[in-house]
Amino acid sequence: MHLPLWIVGLALLAWGWEIGQLALAVPLALLAAAPQWTGYRFALGRNEFHRALDVCWVLAFGGLLLIYSLEDVGNVLRSAARWLPVMAVPAVLAQGWSESGRIPLSAVLPWPSWRRRPEPDGPPFDAGSLVVILSLVSASTAGAERPWFFAVIVGVLGVFLWSRRARGHRAWAAAMVLVLAAAGGWMVARGLAVTQQWIEDGLMAWTTRWYREGAPYRVSPTAIGRTGRVGGSSRIIFQVRIDGGRAVPALWRTATYTEWRHGEWFATGTGFEKVDGLEDEWILDPAPGRAGALQVEWVRHSTRGLMPLPHGTRVLRELIAESVEMTPMGTVRADTRAGVVGFRAEYARTAAVELEPREGDREEVPAAELPLIAELAEELGLSGRPAAEVLNELRRHFADHFRYTTDLVDSPADDPRAGTALGRFLVGHRTGHCEYFATAGVLLLRAAGIPARYATGFLLDPAERAGGVITVREVQAHAWVRVWMGDAWHDFDPTPAVDFLEEPSGSSGWQRRWHELRFALQRWWWLGEKAWLRQAHWLTLPLLAMLLWRFRRLRAARLRAEVGPGSGPRPAWPGLDSEWLPIDAVLTDRGLARRPDERPGVWRDRLAGAGWGPEEVGRAWTASGLHDRLRFDPRGLAENERETLRVVSSDLGRALGLARGGDGVRRGG
């Protein structure tokens, strides 16, 4: 016995209502249920059923591939589950509109060997029951946490089971069984929800330990719910060097997160992708236009490789790195061996480096926080207002009714809605640090329908400009909100205006001076300011001894290789015939060759300081870059580029006096 088609239509309507696709669900439901009230039928044979089921498989695999190409890997299965009924609709339409009203089992699987077999004995395949089940499963991906979802499920399943009841029994007995089944199902569902929460908590605690150590861009633990003093030390994270009195962005972001769970923020479905770079220039956003540029010197390990950057950063210049990577959330990571990294950040008012809002950025509020957040958003009148007005209202609300402090409390609240640490902050003690304000701001904006994310980084003190340098310390770590407004992401800081740069009570002046001395030593070591060290000629003695020993071992190994078996022609390594090599040998002899950790600007300044003119410096820079590409670029050099290398190296060789054994750069005229 097949399921009545009007129940299939009802299930499709419930699915469309739950996922917000009634415009699609209504025509599908009408098409699925219409054969029950019309006499039209089609003479569909075995081959036609095969084609109809083939369409189902094409929709299933094609839709999965399409979703995989559009969504993050972590969201593929969830997004695909939302469209399960659509993938099965061709089957139910073929069954409902056919004269036979049944789908042969041979049509279910698309394998030729299966379809060549004789039709097996047994009940026919019922596509209607499959669509009902898929509709309920799909609806649960969007509405399982809504209070009316269970009632919808009970209604559809109740009608489904009522149509299948044995006709010989009394109706009131069947109704009583359905009521008892619904009550038992509700209790089982609640028990499963508690069990699921317990399992998720355990898994989250287990995986977070790995995330914290290996992938800081994925998770940001907070101090929400803790008590006592919080804050960082006076350890220096980075310095910003400025010219004159130009304005400097106050918020410098290291990472962005999207999902709030169990006291921590997570960046879901993100991974790093390499940024295009040329020499020491890395382009995050190729759009033209710049609002400013700042020179930064950053202690890499202090942020685990995540770069602190101002809003709107488009290009990183003078950054010596093996690679630069960026996530779809705009988190940037540099792979470099240096402990202190210097670079120039060029920024604009906005930059297209972040993924546009996803559904979770607009709606996702944890079930434990949702009732209170929704009520507060309604009390503040946030829904339906322009984003700028909502931001002003939140800023005013937090400034008038809350107090910033790093001495955290988590005292019980009289308000029964305060069931979580964040709830006790919002309607209870109303005191906390930036993580409280930023988390509450993100969730309230989402409740108002405005996309928002959670950002972490550092808050600069623009008033601290000693010697044209702004020093940023660990104590200045900060959290704020990223809000989607005017087709772009912007920074919004809901934390009341107070002294964020307050250090822990145990801090002292000597600790600040120690951290300043430590940073100065790191900067001196990694950024090339070691002139006196280069004058310590006595250090060459142990180095010379080590080289002689090494040459002795290499010579012995070479002799063994020449007389041993398997000796043959050596590989022709790229670049051995480069015209730059004689130039590089002369520069090495004169102490002017570029060192591996030397920034391009520093090398060019050294050449100019040695008496080189702008023309010779430019030739050296061009030839050096082409030589590096000849050695390391798998594509090598084009013919015109190789000719440029020959000409420039030849001109530079004549300027250096190689042809006549000269001593310096030969000047024209």
Which tens digits make up the pLDDT trace of 522-574? 888 778 654 444 444 444 455 445 545 544 544 454 445 444 544 445 455 67
Q: Are the C-beta atoms of residues 622 and 644 closer than 8 Å to each other?
A: yes
Using CB atoms within 10 Å of the CB of residue 258, give its burial: 0 to 12 exposed, 13 to 18 middle, 19+ buried. Answer: buried
- Give the C-alpha separation, 581 to 579, whole Å: 6
- 7-65 pLDDT, tens digit each: 888 888 888 877 778 888 888 888 888 887 777 777 777 777 778 888 888 888 888 87
Q: Max alpha carbon distance in the chain (Å)?
A: 116
Query: Do the domain assignments include residue 609?
Result: yes
- 609-637 pLDDT, tens digit each: 888 888 888 888 888 888 888 888 777 88
Query: Residue 413's pLDDT band (boundaries 50, 70, 90)?
Result: confident
Confidence check: pLDDT of 76 > 80:
no
Amino acid at 10: L
Query: Do the domain assignments include residue 77?
Result: yes
Eight-class DSSP state of 60:
H
Query: Do the domain assignments include residue 621?
Result: yes
**Residue 441: predicted pLDDT:** 96
484-506 burial by CB neighbour count: b if 16+ within 10 A, else e? bbeeebbbbbbbbeeebbebeee
Residue in 378, 372, 456 with CA at minimum distance from that of residue 422 = 372
Global pTM?
Answer: 0.52
SS (H, E, C) 614-652: HHHHHHHHHHHHHHHHHHHCCCCCCHHHHHHHHHHHHHH
Query: Do the domain assignments include residue 464?
Result: no
- Give the C-alpha separation, 532 to 145, whole Å: 68
Q: Which of 139, 164, 189 represents a domain boundary (last residue)?
A: 164
First to last CA, the chain: 103
**Residue 237: predicted pLDDT:** 92
- Range of lowest pLDDT (217-226, 435-444, 654-663): 654-663
**Residue 566: predicted pLDDT:** 47
Mean pLDDT of 421-437: 92
Mean pLDDT of 407-421: 83
**Residue 162: predicted pLDDT:** 66
> Residue 620 sits in which domain range?
575-669
Q: Which residue has the tokens 């599908």?
A: 28
Confidence check: pLDDT of 69 > 70:
no
Highest mean pLDDT among 212-221, 244-253, 289-298, 558-567: 289-298
Query: Do the domain assignments include residue 195?
Result: no
- Range of lowest pLDDT (318-332, 385-399, 549-563): 549-563
Query: Residue 164's pLDDT band (boundaries 50, 70, 90)?
Result: low
**Residue 212: predicted pLDDT:** 47
Query: Residue 502's pLDDT band (boundaries 50, 70, 90)?
Result: low
DSSP H/E element including 531:
helix 531-534
Number of domains comprising the chain: 2
Query: Do the domain assignments include residue 122?
Result: yes
- 271-302 pLDDT, tens digit each: 888 888 887 889 898 888 787 889 999 998 88
Q: Are the C-beta atoms of residues 277 and 325 closer than 8 Å to each other?
A: no
Query: Do the domain assignments include residue 272?
Result: no
Mean pLDDT of 142-162: 64
- Range of lowest pLDDT (181-195, 256-270, 352-366, 499-513): 499-513
410: which strand partners?
none
189/332: higher pLDDT: 332
Query: Do the domain assignments include residue 21?
Result: yes
Q: Which of 123, 143, 164 represents a domain boundary (last residue)?
A: 164
Q: Which of 148, 164, 180 represents a domain boundary (last residue)?
A: 164
